[in-house]
Amino acid sequence: MEKVRVGIIGTGFTIGIANAHVQGYQRVPGCELVAMYDKIPGRAAKFMEKFKIEGLKACESLEEFYSMVDAVSVCTPNNEHANLAIDAMNHGKHVIVEKPFSTSYEEGLRALNASKEHSELVCMTVFNYREQVEVQQMKRIIDSGILGKIISVRHIGGGGRMWDGEHVFLEWRMQEKTSGTGAMADFGVHMLDLTDYLLHDIIGDYVQFNGMTSTLVKERYVINEKDVMGDKKGDEKAPVTNDDIATFSALSESGCLCTFETGRLVGSMSMFEIAGDQGIVLRNNTLYPAGKMGLFDRSKTKGPFPSFETIDIDADIMESRKNSGLLGHDGVLGEFIDCIQTGKKPVRDFRHGLYIQKLIDNFSSAAKTGQTVYEKVSESEIQ
């Protein structure tokens, strides 16, 4: 079987999410990474130099780029995802788009509709946390039924890279026009995807949405758009126009209450708790070292208060992840390449990306208006 020739659109200059795609494709069998393109002249070449990436072509135009590839990773600002996905499909290219899928449901719907006109192409969204060993262990525990009826979900996570308003400048992800919501979408889409992956068949669709957001670092230095690596434009500052902290919650059809808290200024603490009426499974990187989790099994506990035991992640899960290299973006990119080569239909497709975007839109609306959004949102009904 011939290898799939892959290229990346959008290299950026800060966290370098494109580099996660580079490393992922280098570890995934069945593909060859051949080209990169960025709309800022010289940036793709600088990116490859920064990350010591060799053997790729830094293309000067999209037409040159498309002529070299069979499949495309879109790693651009969020407001460019839909247009670039449509453009790639119109050039006959399979496409995988970084999360979030778009800046709004309406924008993402354009890309979904275009994908229906190109049913021969594989179209996916990057939700790359499912392969984490802790998530796979949680799934095994949930599927065993020992937690009983699932009654609540609590998920806390985020990052602290942007806490310094003097040395982290006004990037596109801090502006509503180019990013949509801020931390709510940046980290929240992962939380929503994982909860859906683990629990949707158990708790059903969400029917009620609430949210609150805050912007603590209110202005930052403007970036010089002509600078290849994004240095600041003198001492000029401008407002941050989306959230850097968000709390949002949803009620499901079954009555399960799901709460999510995320931020860009909160450090690296991560907690994911799924509670049932007979037990609780807990992932917490401040309480449990790598390879271990917390489990409360009511059948093993005497007295009224939960008593957690520390459990090891099952050896077969640890070994399968290690041997298959499903780290970082490897898992979702591996699905992408496999679907291209075998004709399988992807799970993390455009419709799923748009479904998650619809959830984000409802949480954002609740946060902006201060009003609960009452709406049943079902992925199966997104057309």
Write down the pLDDT at residue 228. Answer: 66
87: left (phi over 0), alpha (psi -120 to 50) or beta: alpha
Write down the pLDDT at residue 276. Answer: 98
The identity of residue 115, as a single letter, is: S
Collect all residues with Cβ–Cβ distance below 8 Å to 198 and sequence separation of at least 6: 135, 138, 139, 142, 274
Write down the pLDDT at residue 165. Answer: 84
Provide the residue count of the chain. 383
The identity of residue 42, as a single letter, is: G
Strand partners, 311: 293
Q: Residue 119: is it exposed, middle or buried by C-beta count within 10 angstroms (0-12/13-18/19+)? A: exposed
259 within 8 A of 155, measured Cβ to Cβ: yes
Place of tokens 């009826």: 149
Write down the pLDDT at residue 188. Answer: 97
| CA dist., res. 253 & res. 24, Å (int) | 37
Q: ∠28-84-44 over CA atoms, to 5°?
A: 65
341 within 8 A of 30, measured Cβ to Cβ: yes
Intra-chain end-to-end CA distance of the chain, in Å? 33
Alpha carbon distances (Å) from 302 to 299, 307, 336: 8, 9, 48
Identify which of 290, 344, 315, 340 has the alpha carbon closest to the alpha carbon of residue 28: 340
Pairing of strands 150-158, 271-276: antiparallel
145: how many CB neighbours lie within 10 A of its CB?
Answer: 12
User: What is the chain's pLDDT, residue by residue, as a tens digit (383 residues)?
Assistant: 689 999 999 998 777 799 999 999 999 999 999 999 999 899 999 999 988 899 999 999 999 999 999 999 999 999 999 999 999 999 999 999 999 999 999 999 999 999 999 999 999 999 999 999 999 999 999 999 999 999 999 999 998 888 888 889 999 999 999 999 999 999 999 999 999 999 999 999 999 999 999 999 999 999 887 776 677 888 999 999 999 999 999 999 999 999 999 999 877 789 999 999 999 999 999 999 989 999 999 988 877 777 899 999 999 999 877 655 556 799 999 999 999 999 999 999 999 999 999 999 999 999 999 999 999 999 999 97
Write down the pLDDT at residue 119. Answer: 96
CA dihedral 15, 53, 189, 154 (to 10 degrees): -70
Write down the pLDDT at residue 236. Answer: 92
Write down the pLDDT at residue 160. Answer: 85
Model pTM score: 0.95
Residue 83 belongs to what H/E stretch?
helix 81-90
Q: Residue 264: is it exposed, middle or buried by C-beta count within 10 angstroms (0-12/13-18/19+)? A: buried
Write down the pLDDT at residue 68. Answer: 98
333 within 8 A of 357, measured Cβ to Cβ: no
Write down the pLDDT at residue 323. Answer: 56
Domains of the chain, with CATH numbers?
4-128+329-348 (3.40.50.720), 133-324+358-376 (3.30.360.10)
CA pseudo-torsion sign 82, 84, 87, 93: negative
| CA dist., res. 141 & res. 132, Å (int) | 15
| CA dist., res. 94 & res. 9, Å (int) | 13
Write down the pLDDT at residue 322. Answer: 67
Write down the pLDDT at residue 162. Answer: 86
Alpha carbon distances (Å) from 184 to 51, 180, 192, 267: 29, 9, 10, 16
CA diameter of the chain: 68
Strand order in the sheet with 71-74: 57-58, 31-37, 4-9, 71-74, 94-97, 123-125
Q: How many helices (H) and strands (E) does the chain have?
A: 12, 17
